[in-house]
Structure 1
Amino acid sequence: ISGRYPKAPTLADFWDRLLAGDDCVDEIPLDRPGYRRYAELAREKFGDQWPRWGGFLDDVDAFDPQFFHISPRDARLLDPQERLFLTTAWETLEDAGYTPASLADPELGDERGSVGVFAGVTYNNYQMFAGGDLDEGRWRIVGSQTFSVANRISHLLNLGGPSLTLDTACSSSLYAIHLAVAAIRRGECAMALAGGVNLSLHPSKYVMLAEAGFLAEDGRCRAFAEGGTGYVPAEAVGAVLLKPLDRALADGDRIHAVIKGSAVNSDGRTYGYGVPNPVAQAELVRAALADAGVDAGSIGYVEAHGTGTSLGDPIEVRGLTEAYADAAAPHRRDGRPACAIGSVKATMGHAEAAAGIAQVTKVVLQLRHGTLVPSLLHTPELNPNLDLDSTPFAVQRESAPWERPVLPGSGGAAAGPRRAGVS
């Protein structure tokens, strides 16, 4: 596993930020191309409340091309999202203890590794810089084809499995993991790299979000909290290396976590194109639980989508509650609600295509440390539209030990495994 998040260039830094309940949102970096002019126009239109908040990565233009046998000239043409995901994929292999050579599969016959690559990417506006240059009479090539985010890795690391970039908006990197697991189960590859990348490279993105009314007025993602008016965009990149559990155990791999199951669907027609469907969400969670073969009562934490909107958060909790309605009675030693719920967006903002891999990474870190981190960061007051008293959920307000669940019929002695859901 590997990744970079706002104010957290390493996963150790990311954990420190999560544990401390830090606010990693900042003002947009005006030294990036186009953003200073955007700031001037936004101030004219919105005044002092001009949209200027986000979670940003440092040094998104930094890349070591010769390490990857890419010429500096060619590297300058690549979308920074492609360069960043390539670097993160390499770091993920390092964390797993693999090299491209050690991934070679004798059955393929030419030293290729039977490894798939699945990358979630949504925004594709880097090429707009070339368009601006053309308008001013300058000729410049900019590579901004999202297929290459995955295919560049397969090419450079000599990987022979499926290689694809997908865009399902905010679910892109979770969908990438879902497809990677399915490809392994079908025998299309023996292992898979999966994750996502999201950078705010061109200010036109902020223009669109501001005009559409998506941005939070105070620049904070108030997940499950009072006062949420929208979300805050965030930059992020992350990836995991996936492998069947029995093979990982046999090979002596270091295993961070186990994916028990997953599911996908669509909301279909709702009251509006951006309005979620609680019935579809409940069906989705039930399908994921069935695929995993676990009871909802054994899950101690849900990492929710939790964008912090007054409408979206209650609908998500409603869908989860309906899915959990048939679960076995929860078992907790201290009598607290059975399942904690939280959202990484309260810490860093909404990473859009990389939101799902940020959620998964947070869950993995909590499993590693046996600790739940706070999610209610910007106000102690819950969203008044949430009725949590009638649900099995409680918003995680502070850092606390993640207790193992008591197994039914054990008399309170036996403890089961820690399990989490990611929505």
Structure 2
Amino acid sequence: TLEGFFQSNKQEAVADGKSYSKWGGFIEGFAEFDPLFFNIAPREALSMDPQERLFIEACWEAMEDAGYTREQLAVRHNSRVGVFAGITKTGFDLYGLDLWRKGAQIFPHTSFSSVANRISYLFNLQGPSMPVDTMCSSSLTAIHEACEHLYRGECELAMAGGVNLYLHPLSYVGLCANQMLSIDGQCKSFGKGGNGFVPGEGVGVVLLKPLSKAIADGDPIHALIRGTSINHGGKTNGYTVPNPTAQGELIRSALERAGVHARTISYIEAHGTGTELGDPIEVTGLTQAFRKDTAD
């Protein structure tokens, strides 16, 4: 940790280039990794961003859950397996300069492309392999891209997901400079008194393939993706200000593409940053999209 990075007074913290937040949902043991299991040299593993190492482990676990081995992927899917990794955070590389000055033979680096490409290399997967950074929607966009590539026949199976770690205090300082973080460590999504979000870490990967092939192959099926859509809000009142009309049109597009009636939806995972600006806009977008199907 960076000594003295925290300042409890919000105004003073912003003025002094410090963080007024010290809370988060953190992954315990995030740096634990068995490099030899994945045939990676220990010295090389030390320089790899922990996000990359976590994503490797998550992909392996997804393969185990699906009942696949690397050999089966090569035989049953001709290695035409895509990898789509949502990742948006840097920070690990910021430790490099001090280590280099101290003479350490460790060179921390963050490479978004390596997060996806390392999986393709380790498992000998020859489908599309790409990172996706669309900020908060990175992992969802990675799944969308995976679905699109499957539709077009550019891969027979896809690993898709995301990883997010806050590895350096400057990530907090930067978010606080934009006054995005909660001042009390609580994210009050769609609630009274919302003053920002609380950073959270996580990693997750799913294996995707067309339903007919999954049934034919006897795969365990956890869920069905009926449709995905993406867009951008365009120019609004500010760079971080969402567009309720664009959000409504996007949700509507996804519903129509999937052939789903809004009234049948029982669960929504929202952005919900717990801010007075963003949350009402998100509700407005959802309302506009749902209103075409129901007045409830």
> For this structure pair, what is the TM-score category when the shorter chain's length is used for normalisation?
over 0.9
Query: C-alpha offsets along residues 207-226 of structure 1, whole Å, 9 cap, x if unaligned?
Result: 11112111101111111111
Matches within 5 A, 1:360-371: none
Aligned residue among 48, 67, 70 for 1:78: 48
Give the corresponding residue for 1:259. Answer: 225
Deviation at 1:163, TM superposition (A): 0.3
The amino acid of 2:230's aligned partner reads V
Alignment of 1:221-236 (within 5 A): 221-236=187-202
Distance change >3 Å, CA 138–CA 76, structure 1 → 2: closer
**Pairing partner for 2:59 from 79, 82, 89:** 89
Distance in 2 (alpha carbons) for counterparts of 1:143 and 1:263: 33
What letter corresponds to residue 63 of structure 2 in structure 1?
L
The Cα shift of 1:136 comes to: 6.0
After the TM superposition, which residues 234-383 of structure 1 pair with which residues of structure 2 at under 5 Å, given as runs? 234-327=200-293, 329=294
Deviation at 1:191, TM superposition (A): 0.6
CA offset digits 1:73-102 (Å, max 9, x no partner): 111111100000000000011111111111
Q: Is the 8 A contact 1:118 1:193 kept in 2?
A: yes
Alignment partners' CA distance in 2, 1:205 and 1:85:
20
Distance 2:34 2:87 in 1: 22
Shift of 1:138: 5.8
Q: How much has 1:297 moved relative to structure 2? A: 2.1
**CA distance in 2 between partners of 1:208 and 1:223 (Å):** 22
Partners of 1:65 and 1:137 in 2: how far apart? 23
Cα offset for 1:266? Answer: 0.4
Tell me which amino acid in the other structure corresponds to 1:276. P
Deviation at 1:105, TM superposition (A): 4.0
Equivalent in 139, 153, 158 of residue 119 of structure 2: 153
Distance across 1 between alignment mates of 2:104 and 2:264: 60
1:220 aligns with 2:189: no
Contact 1:105 1:114 in 2 (8 A): no
Q: CA deviation at 1:293?
A: 1.7
1:43 offset after TM fit, Å? 5.7
| Range with greater deviation from structure 2 (289-298 or 156-165) | 289-298
Residue identity in the other structure for 1:216: S
Task: Quote how far apart the aligned CAs of 1:310 are.
Answer: 1.5
Q: How far apart in 2 are the matches of 1:172 and 1:318?
A: 23
Preserved contact between residue 215 and residue 232 of structure 1 (Cα < 8 Å): yes
Match of 1:67 in 2: 37
Q: State the alpha-carbon separation in 2 of the partners of residues 252 and 138 from structure 1.
A: 50
Do the aligned partners of residues 155 and 225 (structure 1) sit closer, same or farther apart at CA in structure 2, a change above 3 Å counting?
same
For 2:179 and 2:141, the matched residues in 1 are separated by: 26
Separation in 2, partners of 1:180, 1:132: 39
Measured at CA, do residues 38 and 89 of structure 1 come closer, stay the same or move farther in structure 2, by a change above 3 Å? farther
Q: How many residues align?
A: 290
- What stretches of structure 1 of length at least 5 have no aligned partner? 1-34, 330-390, 393-423
Q: Which amino acid in the other structure matches residue 126 of structure 1?
A: F
Question: Where does the alignment leave 5 or more consecutive residues of structure 2 unmatched?
Answer: none
Cα deviations across residues 22-81 of structure 1 (Å, max 9, x unaligned)? xxxxxxxxxxxxx25144x5369549x941011100011100111101111111111100
Could you tell me how far 1:301 is from its partner in structure 2?
1.8
Cα-to-partner distance string for 1:211-255 (whole Å, 9 max, x where unaligned):
211110111111111111011111100011001001111111111
Q: What SS does the corresponding residue of 1:42 show, helix, strand or coil?
A: coil
Residue 131 of structure 2 aligns to a residue whose secondary structure is strand
TM norm structure 1: 0.65
Trace 1:116-131 onto structure 2 (pairs within 5 A): 116-131=82-97
Deviations 1:380-422 (A, max 9, x none): xxxxxxxxxxx74xxxxxxxxxxxxxxxxxxxxxxxxxxxxxx
Structure 1 runs, 4 residues or longer, greater than 6 Å off: none
Give secondary structure in 1 for the equivalent of 2:159.
strand
Q: CA deviation at 1:294?
A: 1.8
Q: Structure 1 residues 236, 297: closer, same or farther in 2, change over 3 A?
A: same
| Code of the aligned partner of 1:61 | A
Percent identity among equivalent residues? 51
Give the Cα–Cα distance (whole angstroms) in 2 for the partners of residues 158 and 101 of structure 1.
9
Are 1:278 and 1:315, in contact at CA under 8 Å, matched by a contact in 2?
Answer: yes
| 1:289-348 deviation per Cα after TM superposition (whole angstroms, max 9, x unaligned) | 122122212212212111111121111111111111111x4xxxxxxxxxxxxxxxxxxx
RMSD: 2.0
